[in-house]
Amino acid sequence: MPHPRLKSAPRWRLLLRRTSEAAVRPGRFLTFATPVIYSDDSLWPRILAVLCMREDARQIPETVERFLDSTLGSVDSAEELAVGAAQRAGFDEDDVMKIGMAVRESMVNAVAHGNRYNANKKVRFSVANNRERFTVRIADEGDGFDYSCLPDPRLPENLMCTSGRGLFLVRSFMDEFQVRRLDPAGTEVTLVKYMVSK
């Protein structure tokens, strides 16, 4: 019979407890395979649990590529994939959070502004890392846009605008940021975070 306190605990707390129990045994590794439940407290406890095991990270090169629907659910999925890959690559908690936010902002742009939630259009999402770079590519099938024409959100006339800060934040969170138009249609955003040698 389960302990009464654990019976009422949220699922992530149970996973966190299992994580800490597994972490004390040498040579044990933990893989999270839970459905995405996006709320304020669902993602970060798992991130913290994995970060506690960072000393076991080996920085093994990894590539993940997905074709995602043009829905906000895909935004959550892409963020979780990128965060998981960043954890396995050995980034610290701050960098993992920055990568997650940059991917989320870029995915929202691809789904909402690029593909305009069109069910017939997909978003190509890929994450690749090696010992030097962590690279995320997000490509939509929309009409594209001219990045140089976006207004600067720091200018006085733009300070009270309710949107327009996403790409500014993405640029500030990542080490490299590139936007290119695809032929015949679409836009690809490339985000790079450098791996720091320990």
For 118, which DSSP code? Answer: -
Residue that has been written with the tokens 């966190």 in this structure: 16
Please tell me the class of the 60-194 domain.
alpha beta
Tens of each residue's pLDDT in the chain, 198 residues: 554 444 444 444 444 444 444 444 444 444 444 444 444 444 544 444 444 444 444 567 889 999 999 999 999 999 999 999 999 999 999 999 999 999 999 999 999 999 999 999 999 999 999 989 999 999 999 998 776 777 777 788 877 776 677 788 999 999 999 999 999 899 999 999 998 743
**Where are the chain's structural domains?**
1-56, 60-194
- Rounded distance between C-alpha atoms, residue 98 and residue 76, angstroms: 15
Name the pTM for this structure.
0.68
